Amino acid sequence: MTQSKCPVCGCKKFHVKNPEDDYDIYEFECRDGEVCFDEEMDAGECPEVNDATETFCNQCAWHDKFNKIK
């Protein structure tokens, strides 16, 4: 299994923001190009993440479109 890493710091954890509330975030890892949200997240509450979704590193200031880490 290949796990994506931040291109700047190498962190394996990322997050996306809720489009309706910038302070509400959803953490995930990217394994084999697939978004894997934390297990305690209800699948119905997780946002859709596609290639154009703005994605943020959990450790540094990097952010870009999801397809850059996929």
Q: Does any domain span residue 57?
A: yes
Q: Does any domain span residue 32?
A: yes
Calculate the alpha carbon distances from 27 to 7, 17 in Å.
Answer: 17, 9
Question: What's the pLDDT at 41?
Answer: 85
* Residue numbers of the domain that contains 32: 14-68
Question: What's the pLDDT at 22?
Answer: 80
Question: What's the pLDDT at 40?
Answer: 85
Q: Does any domain span residue 58?
A: yes
Residues 7-56: pLDDT tens digits? 999 999 999 998 888 889 999 999 999 999 988 888 888 889 999 999 99
Q: Does any domain span residue 8?
A: no
Question: What's the pLDDT at 70?
Answer: 87
Burial class (CB in 10 A: 0-12, 13-18, 19+), 39: exposed
Question: What's the pLDDT at 3?
Answer: 93
Q: Does any domain span residue 48?
A: yes
Q: Does any domain span residue 25?
A: yes
Give the count of domains, the chain: 1
Q: Say which residues have a Cβ less than 8 Å from residue 41's Cβ, sequence separation at least 6.
A: 26
